[in-house]
Amino acid sequence: MQKVLGLSFLFSCLVLLFFSRYSNRVPLILGSGLQTNDIDLVLNRKNCMETVVKIIGENIPSIQALNLSNNRLFQLNDLAELVKQAPGLKQLNLSKNELKSERELEKIKDFRLEELWLQENPMCENFHAHNLYVSAVRQRFPRLIRLDGLELPPPITFDVPSPTMLPAVKDGYFPNEEIRALIQRFIQQYISVYDSGDRQGLLNAYHENSCCSISIPNSAQNPVKSNLAEYVKDSRNIKKLKDPVMRQKLLKHSRLCIVAFLNELPNTLHDPNSFLVDVHTHMPTMLSFTLNGVFKETEGKYQGSIRAFSRVFITVPAENGGLCIVNDKLFVRMASGEEIRRAFVTPAPTPSSSPVPTLLPPQQDMLHSFSLQSGMNLEWSQKCLQDNDWDFIKAAQVFQKLQSQRSIPPEAFKK
């Protein structure tokens, strides 16, 4: 049997049905070529279309093409029934009908059509431009290859041939271990200076011509109430800030200006346990990443307030093998209840001069002499000893190695 339904075949079915079911009073039209037969079947009548659908479903469910051109169709409700009967239909001719709205196509969108004729329907006039017409049709028939006889550009589909697992969601991203170590060292050094109370030491972290800005979210409607007042005057939230002069002014430029600006921001203490790093770009000449986390303010009006932050650093390689910041964008917002609850749960190492009471007396002695010899404070000396199972010699070797690599943060020596 032929897969493409010609009119004559459909016609014969309909004539049969016509004589078996309908009275002579029903006029028949079935395409222009057949009007000479003096029999008109109006497919726009509900039971006629229902019957055609039924005939096709029972006799030729494998039909691939159907010509319904010139049948005064003004709706496609009944044709929609054909989707179940003949799911393999690929070509459909609906031209020269009375379809007024693209919504009619919605009803038959489950056909996986590759070719469709719609020309000379009133709905075609509803579009100001041809591409809008094409996209409205394609929205319903993403597999369409030809519309009104014209080839369409290849469709963009998101058909996934077989079930594909999406990659698991990760907490933070480093492309490799080397970059992880580099960034972690950078963050540790940067934050320890940043939190030290004097941010002058950050001068060397910035490139001569680097840029820096701070932004607080739009939602902070009332900055006084949201405790972010201290950041408002410097906030360069370009979604809110439309004035180009102000935009320019709030972008801190050159490392001297940046460090002077950072020095004016409230003193802070970051919670290293909250840190989450995402690397977005890494090239031999550039490394860009975002540091997310929380800090608390350690002085001033909002002392003790916990803030959440995201800090986007764009860096280039520094001469000493580390990273040199060329752009630093700091977003500060109020921390959520959950972020506040989790902040500083595990205490961050803070310089302390009192011996930790849980140590055994010989450990306390070892700690004091290690601190004396290394110059590190008790907190860091204890950390180093603990990491080396209280083996004094081993700890001293590790210390010397790290010291020669300059990878011990300055805060370790603060007493």
Kindly tell me which residue out of 13, 14, 31, 270 binds ligand NAG, with binding defined by CB under 6 A. Answer: 31
Q: Give the nearer residue to ligand NAG in terms of CB position, either 5 or 366.
A: 5
Q: Give the nearer residue to ligand NAG in terms of CB position, either 149 or 321.
A: 149
Q: Give the nearer residue to ligand NAG in terms of CB position, either 30 or 294.
A: 30
Q: Would you count residue 409 as binding ligand NAG (CB under 6 A)?
A: no
- The least distance separating ligand NAG from the CB of residue 111, rounded to whole angstroms, comes to 15
Contacts of 141 (CB under 8 A, 6+ apart): 105, 109, 111, 112, 113, 116
Residue type at position 243: D
- The least distance separating ligand NAG from the CB of residue 147, rounded to whole angstroms, comes to 11
The two structure tokens encoding residue 22: 């309908």
Q: Would you count residue 93 as binding ligand NAG (CB under 6 A)?
A: yes
Instruction: Give the binding-site size for ligand NAG (rule: CB under 6 A).
Output: 11
Q: Would you count residue 69 as binding ligand NAG (CB under 6 A)?
A: yes
Q: What are the φ/ψ torsions at residue 28 (nearest 5 degrees)?
A: -115, 130
Sketch the per residue contact string, 95 through 134, with ligand NAG: x for CB under 6 A, - otherwise: xx--------------------x-----------------
Q: Give the nearer residue to ligand NAG in terms of CB position, either 2 or 281.
A: 2
Q: Which of 212, 215, 213, 211 is nearest to 331 (CA)?
A: 215
Kindly tell me which residue out of 32, 218, 352, 373 binds ligand NAG, with binding defined by CB under 6 A. Answer: 32
Q: Give the nearer residue to ligand NAG in terms of CB position, either 67 or 267.
A: 67
User: How is 112-138 classified by DSSP, letter by letter?
Assistant: --SEEE--SSGGGGG-SSHHHHHHHHH
Residue type at position 217: P
Stretch that binds ligand NAG, among 63-71, 278-286, 295-303, 362-370 (CB under 6 A): 63-71
For 295, counting Cβ atoms within 10 Å of its Cβ (0-12 exposed, 13-18 middle, 19+ buried), the class is: buried
Q: Would you count residue 210 as binding ligand NAG (CB under 6 A)?
A: no
Three-class HEC string of 319-380: CCCCEEEEEEEEEEEECCHHHHHHCCCCCCCCCCCCCCCCCCHHHHHHHHHHHHHHCCCHHH
Residue type at position 56: I
Say if CB 74 and CB 99 are below 8 A apart.
yes
Sketch the per residue contact string, 33 through 52, with ligand NAG: x for CB under 6 A, - otherwise: x-------------------
User: Which residues form the interface with ligand NAG (CB under 6 A)?
Assistant: 7, 31-33, 67, 69-70, 93, 95-96, 117
